[in-house]
Amino acid sequence: MEQKVKFKNRNWEVAAILQFPPNFDEKEKYAAIVCGHPISSCKEQTSGHIYGKQLAEAGFITLAFDASCQGESGGEPRFLEDPALRVEDFRCAADYLTTLEYIDEKRIGVLGICGGGGYAANAAMTERRFKAVATVVAANYGRVMREGNYTADAAIKALEAVADQRTAQARGAEAKIIGYIPNTQEERIAAGMNDIDIVEAIDYYRTPRGQSENSPNLLRFDSLDKVFAFDAFHLADHLLTQPLMVIVGDRVGAFGSYRDGYELFNRAASQDKQIHVVQGASHYDLYDQPKATGEALQQLIPFFRKHL
């Protein structure tokens, strides 16, 4: 069973999907898992309709949401990728769950995929209502942008371009909206982008495989100044103490989730932490491919059952 719901972040509403276990009884108390989507994604894709759905079928209540300013969620300006807002969305999701009588507020966990994994881990450091933390191909988005998409010199030039754009907008110019990825494989080839993560990102986001109207591949350019300065794993060695499960694939691409998964695992202060490598799986295999996601869920379900 699935229900569309909304909860507040500041003065706007965040759109979400609440999914229930089989034979749900509102008079009972259930463990719940907040599911955070990847960068540029939405609740109808991997976070909600793959992991959220399967975890609900395993007995949990799951809450997958659209990031503020994206998808069906409110917030302005549109298409903003603001790490501070993204992390606050997770806290607000926990707020919402504590208002539901059938949720055991002492048994709330969090799962994030790709950039949502970085945000989930970051949120859990200060959101102590999250009692267990899991990530699938977690990416530290600030690190991806600083080191994966740009050289050091190019990053500074990009920030200078953002500064120029903000000046233009302050003087009345329209906001600049760009894409996260090329819209077609032809655009990618023309741009000389041949890495597996870019190839498979286009296949997932821009074809019927995973395409959703709530994931339009649009990014507000002046988000980049916020993203470049963000480190999702900062203070993990001090503040990330909850049980932790990290899932990665060993077909490594430019987004660096294999590296970031190991960095999160190694830096986390958690006494109970595990990392699982899905052999032969790429970053995007772990979004929706049954063999890869099935293996990930074989780790996630017992992990959450143990700790929630």
pLDDT value for 154: 83
**Mean pLDDT of the 180-190 span:** 95
- Indicate whether 300 pLDDT > 80: yes
Q: What is the CB-side half-sphere exposure of residue 28 using CA atoms within 13 A?
A: 12
Average pLDDT, the chain: 96
| Residue 134, phi then psi, degrees to nearest 5 | -135, 145
% of the chain surpassing 90 pLDDT: 94
Sign of the alpha-carbon dihedral angle for 113, 192, 227, 76: negative
**Mean pLDDT of the 9-18 span:** 98
For residues 211 and 182, give the distance between their C-alpha atoms in angstroms, rounded to a whole number. Answer: 14
- Indicate whether 190 pLDDT > 60: yes
Q: Which two tokens stand for residue 25?
A: 């009884």
- Indicate whether 152 pLDDT > 80: no
Confidence (pTM): 0.96
- pLDDT tens for residues 58-73? 999 999 999 999 999 9
- pLDDT tens for residues 209-262? 999 999 999 999 999 999 999 999 999 999 999 999 999 999 999 999 999 999
CATH C-level class of 2-307: alpha beta
**Mean pLDDT of the 257-277 span:** 98
β-bridge mates for residue 251, sequence order: 282
Phi-psi region of 59 (alpha: psi -120 to 50; beta: other; left: phi over 0): left
- Indicate whether 78 pLDDT > 70: yes
Sign of the alpha-carbon dihedral angle for 168, 78, 177, 160: positive
Query: What residue ranges do the domains of the chain occupy?
Result: 2-307
Binned at pLDDT 50, 70 and 90, residue 150 comes out as: low
- pLDDT tens for residues 95-143? 999 999 999 999 999 999 999 999 999 999 999 999 999 999 999 999 9
